[in-house]
Amino acid sequence: MKELRDIKRFPNDPALTCVRAVVVTLSLLTLPPGPALASTHKSVSTHVDTARSKLMNIRKREDELKQRQDQIHQRLTEARKAAETAQQKAKADAVQAASLTSASVDAAQQLEDTQNKLDSLGDDIDDLRDRQTEIRQDLALDAAAIAPMITVARRLDMHPTESLIASPSSSEDSITALLVIRGLARTLEHDAEGLKARRAELDVVDQDLGNRLKEARQLESEQADQKIELSRKMKAARDAWQHSKALARTRDQQSLQTQAKAEAVDKEVSLLMAEEAAALAALQKEAEKAALRKQQALLAARKAHQKHDHDSSPSGSTIASSTGSKKGAGGLVAGTIITAWGSPTETGPATGMTFSTPSGALVRAPCSGHIDFAGPFRSFGHMLILNCGENDRFVLAGLEHLEVEDGQNIHKGEGVGAMPSSGKPGTLLVQLRHGTRAINPASRL
């Protein structure tokens, strides 16, 4: 049959496993092709082909998205390593900045010491200048005081006899004059010694003042160099801190951006997994509808071809006995198993479980965990992706409404929603995935 040949073209697609079982069963219902049966067969093939095409497109998108996910996670790992390297570099920069800061403190202390020396030297220079002015003023006063006597002394030195004898004074006056001259000479000698001593003191003060001024100029030059060095060290310390902070901030921003991209892709993968599960549920339902239509066509064909009645009856009983008799999963939902995990098919074991549930049956959480996705999905009813931790996720599809929402944390056994309450049995699809690989849900139910 065409649907069987088409499914054989995709032997490794786990999403089609449940449908393969249905199609293989339908392919066993062999009757001579009548008009009604041929029309039904064509309709079944069309619906199955459409559902299979949707699944294949989803699987292709999933593969592309997983490649993108791997690339982003690789970049995230590299970004984290770069952030660690930047953090180590920041620590080294912090040590260097602390060292530069210490050097700046030492330079500032040297500058302060130099300034203190300059201040002290300035006080000494001011004192020397005051002393210099005072000595010069004393010299000027002494010079003014002896100026008249210097004129008399010069005349006596040049004309001693004429100055003393030629005078019409008496001999007593001459003797008195000689005594006066003698006293004047002593006074002049004493004043001369005083002037000489003050001049010598002034020379010492001048020399000391010159030395202090020279020392002050040298200190001022050192101070200028110290200011330049202090400014350089302070700038180096500031630049080191700024570079360290900027590098760490840049790396943190890159890491956060990459982390955000990784989380977005992870969520997109989860949504795509939900879409895949929904498509699988839709394909299962479509196959069941197709099987029902084909059974109806077979019943009509059996009435027209009584010789084929014995070919249809055993298959129908086989289907009923192999599905409806199985009990439901305790703690998840009331009902019976339509498709069990690992049910043998022509192309391999089934990778999901499908339950037929009573109308409005309560669905409970199969594990404690975090809700990655909860909401309606296209025409497949409500869907739930429950992250159980350790890279395990349950996918539940076919609910009428949900009691939980995205991001919520729930406990095992907690009610998460209910099946359709239309009065007819509902169909609940259950998948358990470890990463991207489907595993037996019964191990966790």
pLDDT at position 283 is 73
- The C-alpha torsion from 410 through 413 and 416 to 418, rounded to 10°, is 180
CA distances from 307 to 27, 37, 302, 312, 435 (A): 19, 16, 8, 11, 52
Residue 320 above 50 pLDDT? Answer: no
Residue 354 has pLDDT above 60, yes or no: yes
Pick the range with the lowest mean pLDDT from 81-90, 111-120, 295-304, 431-440.
295-304
Highest mean pLDDT among 99-113, 238-252, 355-369: 355-369
331 and 282 fall within a common domain: no
- Tokens for 16, please give them: 């089609």
Highest mean pLDDT pick, 72-81, 200-209, 313-322, 339-348: 200-209
Q: For residue 405, what pLDDT band results from cuts at 50, 70 and 90?
A: very high
Tell me which of 105-109, 258-262, 288-292 is least confident.
Answer: 288-292
For residues 167 and 110, state if they share a domain.
yes
Residue 58 has pLDDT above 50, yes or no: yes
Adjacent-strand bridge partners of 170: none
Please tell me the predicted confidence (pLDDT) of residue 328.
56
Specify whether 333 is located in the same domain as 429: yes
pLDDT of the residue at 271 = 82
Instruction: Kindly state whether residues 274 and 364 are assigned to the same domain.
Output: no
Judge if 112 and 255 occupy the same domain.
yes
Instruction: Give the pLDDT confidence of 416-434 residue by residue, as tens digits.
Output: 999 999 888 999 999 999 9
- Residue 8's pLDDT is 38
224, 342: one domain: no
| pLDDT band at residue 403 under the 50/70/90 scheme | very high
> 162-176, 353-367, 379-393 — which is least confidently predicted?
162-176
Average pLDDT over residues 136-142: 83
Mean pLDDT of the chain: 75
Listed in order, strand segments (DSSP E) in 70-121 are none
Give the total number of structural domains in the chain. Answer: 2
Are 285 and 187 part of one and the same domain? yes
For 220-264, how does the pLDDT look when each residue is reduced to its tens digit (9 = 90+)? 898 899 889 888 888 888 888 888 778 778 877 877 888 887 888
Same structural domain, 288 and 349: no
Q: What is the CATH number of the domain that holds 280?
A: 1.10.287
Indicate the range of 46-55, 61-70, 123-132 predicted with least confidence. 46-55
**pLDDT attached to residue 169:** 57
pLDDT mean over 68-80: 82
Distance between CA atoms of residues 436 and 277, nearest Å: 12
> Which residue, 270, 301, 323, sits at the end of a domain?
323
Cβ-contact 385, 371 below 8 angstroms: yes
Instruction: Over range 79-97, report the average pLDDT.
Output: 77
Least confident of 38-52, 259-273, 391-405: 38-52
Domain that holds residue 338: 325-445
- pTM of the predicted model as reported, rounded to 2 decimal places: 0.36
Segment 394-415 shows an average pLDDT of 94
415, β-bridge pairs: 364
State residue 311's pLDDT score.
41
Angle at 262 between CA 380 and CA 61, to 5 degrees: 45
Predicted confidence at residue 314, as pLDDT, reads: 36
* Residue 176: band (very low, low, confident or very high) from pLDDT cuts 50, 70, 90: low
- Which of these three, 267, 298, 323, is where a domain ends? 323
pLDDT at 327: 54
C-alpha to C-alpha distance for 52 and 67, rounded to whole angstroms: 23
Compare 265 and 155 and report the one with higher pLDDT.
265
Q: Return the minimum-mean-pLDDT range out of 61-70, 296-305, 408-417.
A: 296-305
Final residue belonging to a domain, choices 266, 301, 323: 323
Per mean pLDDT, which of 86-100, 170-184, 323-337, 377-391 is the most reliable? Answer: 377-391
We report the CATH number of the domain holding residue 361 as: 2.70.70.10
Does one domain contain both 316 and 329? Answer: no
Nearest to 119 by CA among 221, 12, 263, 219: 219
Most confident of 17-21, 161-165, 328-332, 387-391: 387-391
SS3 416: strand
Q: Half-sphere exposure of residue 75, counting CA atoms within 13 Å on the CB side?
A: 17
pLDDT at 3: 39
Ranges 146-155, 320-329, 412-421: which has the least confidence: 320-329
* 340/282 same-domain check: no
